[in-house]
Structure formats: structure tokens, C-alpha cells
A and B are shown apart, each in its own frame.
Chain A
Amino acid sequence: MPKITYIENNGTEHVVEAQAGASVMEAAVKNMVPGIDADCGGACACATCHVYVDPAWIEKTGKAQPMEESMLDFAYQPKENSRLSCQITVRAELDGLIVRLPEFQG
């Protein structure tokens, strides 16, 4: 299973094995990574699963779609590499993916 590393705002790292086909958000929730609230459960409705994708991985994860992009615009401290983790689907090519968590969600 692809490994994903989540780095909390305080530097704590969580390496989890993620199921292909699930989202990066779901893998975090399943493994109790703190800092991803995902109130809407992955419907791209709440913007509480914001992550920063490590710049080396942006090409593989792809950029946000227009709906997601306008949600991110209102997230806490959005950056060029911001994504909603519910909109990134885990697949084999993402093995080794690194995402960082913002200080707050929403």
C-alpha cells in the first residue's frame, strides 16, 4: 500500500499506509492523524481537510479543480501548494507522498 507522510504544524510526523482508491483525507482519518477535521466526510463542502502538498509531489497530485480552488481561497493561510486532501485520490504513484498540515482548519 502507498505510504503517505503527514507532518503536523508542530513538526510531528505520521507515516501511514493508505488504501489505493481512498482519499488522502480518508487515510488520515483512518489513522487518526490529528489536524484533519473533514467535517463533511469528503464531499468538498467544508474546507476542513486543507493540506500543503510537498512541492516535489505537486506534479503527481495535480492542482486543485476550480470548485476546490475557490474553497481553498477561504482556508486558513492558503498557499500555491494547498489542496483539500479529500480531493486527492491515493494511487500507487503517490507512494512516498508528503503533505504538511496548516496550523488551523477552516
Chain B
Amino acid sequence: MKEQAVIIGAGQAGAQGAQSLRAAGYNGAIVLIGAEKAAPYQRPPLSKAYLQGTMSADRLALKPDAFYVQNDITLRLGEQVTVIDRANARVETAAGAAIAYDRLLLATGAPPRRLHCPGTELSGVHYLRTAEDCEGLRPVLATARRLVIVGAGYIGLEVAASARKAGRAVTVLEAQSRVLARVAGPEISGFFDALHRLHGADLRLNAALSHLEGRGVVERAVLMSGETIDCDAVLIGVGAVPAAALAEAAGLVIDNGVSTDEHAATSDPAIFAAGDCASHPSTLYGRRMRLESVPNAIEQAKVAGANMAGGNAVYDSVPWFWSDQYDVKLQTAGVADGADSAVLRGDPASGRFSLWSLKAGRVLAVDAVNDPAAFLVSKKIIAAKTPVDAKTLADPAADLKSLAS
């Protein structure tokens, strides 16, 4: 019988895995299973252009339909996998189908972390992950009197920018003392804090949500301090949780998501994992990490696809991220955890600068605001572990390219 590879999760990593598996010469059947009804599409526009209505639905698709036909990839959409039966090498779906696999890729992603305080079940309370979530949130941008956003991370701030652009009153609640606390350095937080205030968003720091109130529909947010904020819509953006329940139930090793080795293989050599759901050992950083980003999904799925076809590829790319808010682009290379010093290059007041996080003279991460050159140079420096001199870095007249060599 012909071999069959099954991919659970039809997002960025799932689609890339299917493509790379086929490109590596795999000649078995490829089955891509997605819980959503839509063929693989881009998620980043869901908090930006697609939410704002400036991008049409047909432009969201990652691949044209012909791609799946030409590459002989069977899409099974709107199907939920309920069990990975490793003993019989098959997966089972909610609809009762059993699908055999020789190779399995877990690309299940990371759905939003849910809040469980009273009131989250009210109408008008939103999360944002899928196109359907986005379409549910879109009317809020047209009509809400006040949108309360819980969490000042990428999702919260991007939606805040989109909602302000649409003229809505917006209050952002952040439990920590600065915005983007989990993903960027303090100077970057300060810049985006000022940017959002300049655009009229009401930012509340050290402001933890107690609960939501309303009669059927949300009417107000109540803070731990007792303060209340009247609103008619709430978006909760408080991080994501790796979808590892299937893998865990199947007895695979879990370590902040599905644990993989540098070849994207799980503790079962027939099963691979990639994207938001998977953690991997980073040689570059000397520790295990799980990344929530499109570039990670793409690069890790390329490795998984190649190795499912019998290859021996290694995943150790420099992580990177981007965010667009108003007319500002933030690009981050690397991960700053463990940095012992930071160097600011350029003046935040100019609207174009970068923050370099260092450890013992080595660059761990760079946050670049409207400065793609700094971002691209830093990716090379981080990958090559090029030592840098903090004084040269801080001098805006010093040539960036010379730092990389």
C-alpha cells in the first residue's frame, strides 16, 4: 500500500509542512486536516488589514486551490482530530473517521489563553485567532462606543491601533507595569506606550481585570482596584497556550508544548511537530524554546517536512517577529531573555531606533522600530554569534554593515 503522511492543523506550519514534504520528493499520500472550514490562510492580517476591512477574504489564502491539486495534497477541512492512536498508527476524528499514517506532523498551533473570571461568557466578549473570530470582531470596529482590550501584547496593541484608526474609543488594560512586557525591552515599551496615547488610546498599566459585568451583553469591565470602565465590547489578548492535548493523551513527551528534537521529531520517531505547538532545543541559545511566530512556523515546518521525507535537516534559525501599529513597524530578531545589558542605537524621539540586548558582548536580541536595516544586520550578527562592541553599537554614525563582518 502507498505510504501516507497525515498533518494535523491546517495553519501556516501545516501548509508549509505539506509543501516541504512534497518538495523533498515524498511520493506517498499527504492528508492535511484542519478544524476550521477554510483552507490554510494568513493569520497576521486578522489584527490589522483584514480586521480593518482593507484586505479582501480571497487575499488571506496562503496558497491557491491549484497548489493542493498539483501537489496531490488532500485537504480535510472542518474536521477535528480527537485521538492519535500510536499503537495502530492512525488518527481518529470527531466525525468517526480513522486515518492511517506512516508519518504524522502535529501543527496544531496555540489558541488564545482563556480568562475564567465572571462575565467572560457575555456577548460582546471576543478572542482573536481565526478568520471567524476576526469577522465577529469587525462590527465592533464599526459601532462600539468603547472597546476594552485586556492585555497589551501584540494582539491587544494591534487591535487597539486598528480600532483607533476606525475612530473607536479604546481602553487597554495591562496587568504589568509596561506594554509588550513579555516580548520587548523597556525602551520599546515606552515608545509604543507613547504612540498609543498619542493616537488617543486610554492605556492603563498595572491594571488587572477583576471581572466583566452586563445583562447578556458586556456593559463594563471591573478592575481589581474596584474601578469600572463602561464598554460594549471586550477583546481578551492575554497570550496563547500550545495545543498539546492530543500529543499528551497519546503519551508523547510534553515540555512547554510538544517536545521536539533539533530535527522537529517528537519522542515518537514517526511523529513530528512544528510551529506554535512545539518546543525545540535551540543550539544558538543553549536552551529549549517555544516560539509563537510565522517565521518559526515556516522554518520549523520546512525542517519537519524534509525529515518526514527521510532527510536529516536541523532547525536552529534565528527567531524573528514583527508587528505593525499605526504607521510604525516593529521587527524583533532573537530572544532577549538572559541579557545582562542593553544598548540603544538612535533616538526614540526620531521614530527610528533599535534596542540591542547583549550578554557578555554577544547580541541576544534586537528590537528595531522603523529600522529594517538594524533588524536585518542583527539577524546575521545573532546567527554568526559575532562579538560586538557596545560603544560602536551606540554610535549612530558607525556603519551597521561593518558590525556584521
Interface residues of A (CB under 8 A from B): 22, 26, 29-32, 39-41, 43-47, 67, 70-71, 73-74
* Chain B residues with CB under 8 A of A31: 64
Docked CA distance A49–B111 (Å): 29
Give the dominant DSSP class at B's interface. helix
Is B108 part of the binding interface, using a Cβ–Cβ cutoff of 8 Å? Answer: no
Given contacts A45-B329, A46-B295, contact A70 B44 (CB under 8 A): no
Whether B44 and A74, one on each chain, are in contact in the complex, defined by CB atoms closer than 8 angstroms, is no
* Chain B residues with CB under 8 A of A22: 59
Docked CA distance A43–B154 (Å): 15
Q: Interface centre among B45, B294, B298, B372, by most A CB within 10 Å? A: B372
User: What are 30 inter-chain pairs, A to B, with CB distance below 8 A?
Assistant: A22-B59, A26-B59, A29-B64, A30-B64, A31-B64, A32-B64, A32-B67, A32-B70, A39-B294, A39-B295, A39-B298, A40-B295, A41-B45, A43-B324, A43-B329, A44-B372, A45-B322, A45-B329, A46-B322, A47-B372, A47-B376, A67-B329, A67-B372, A70-B371, A70-B372, A70-B373, A71-B373, A71-B376, A74-B372, A74-B376
Docked CA distance A46–B324 (Å): 13
Within 8 A of A (CB), among B357-380: 370-373, 376-377
Min CB gap B62→A, angstroms: 8
Chain A residue at minimum C-beta to C-beta distance from B377: A74
Chain A residue at minimum C-beta to C-beta distance from B61: A30
Interface residues of B (CB under 8 A from A): 42, 44-45, 59, 63-64, 66-67, 70, 294-295, 298, 322, 324, 329, 331, 370-373, 376-377
Whether B44 and A43, one on each chain, are in contact in the complex, defined by CB atoms closer than 8 angstroms, is yes
Whether A41 and B44, one on each chain, are in contact in the complex, defined by CB atoms closer than 8 angstroms, is yes
Min CB gap A61→B, angstroms: 20
Whether B66 and A74, one on each chain, are in contact in the complex, defined by CB atoms closer than 8 angstroms, is no
Give the dominant DSSP class at A's interface. loop
* Chain B residues with CB under 8 A of A39: 294-295, 298
Docked CA distance A98–B240 (Å): 43
Docked CA distance A24–B371 (Å): 24
Docked CA distance A73–B404 (Å): 14
* Chain A residues with CB under 8 A of B322: 40, 43, 45-46
A-B interface, 3 closest residue pairs, ranked by CB to CB distance from nearest:
A74-B376, A45-B322, A70-B373
Docked CA distance A3–B322 (Å): 32
7 new A-B contacts, CB < 8 A, other than A32-B63, A70-B372, are A29-B64, A40-B44, A41-B294, A47-B376, A70-B373, A70-B376, A71-B372
Q: Interface centre among A26, A31, A70, by most B CB within 10 Å? A: A70
Min CB gap A81→B, angstroms: 19
Docked CA distance A40–B298 (Å): 10
Docked CA distance A44–B294 (Å): 14
Docked CA distance A65–B71 (Å): 37
Docked CA distance A45–B154 (Å): 15
Whether A67 and B44, one on each chain, are in contact in the complex, defined by CB atoms closer than 8 angstroms, is no
Min CB gap B346→A, angstroms: 13
Min CB gap B209→A, angstroms: 30
Whether B373 and A74, one on each chain, are in contact in the complex, defined by CB atoms closer than 8 angstroms, is yes
Docked CA distance A70–B298 (Å): 24
Docked CA distance A31–B329 (Å): 29
Whether A32 and B66, one on each chain, are in contact in the complex, defined by CB atoms closer than 8 angstroms, is yes
Min CB gap A68→B, angstroms: 8
Partner of A41, one of B42, B373, B377: B42
* Chain A residues with CB under 8 A of B45: 41
Min CB gap A101→B, angstroms: 17
Q: Interface centre among A45, A46, A71, by most B CB within 10 Å? A: A45
Min CB gap A103→B, angstroms: 18
Given contacts A22-B59, A40-B294, A45-B329, contact A73 B373 (CB under 8 A): yes
* Chain B residues with CB under 8 A of A46: 295, 322
Whether B67 and A45, one on each chain, are in contact in the complex, defined by CB atoms closer than 8 angstroms, is no
* Chain B residues with CB under 8 A of A44: 329, 372
Docked CA distance A41–B64 (Å): 14
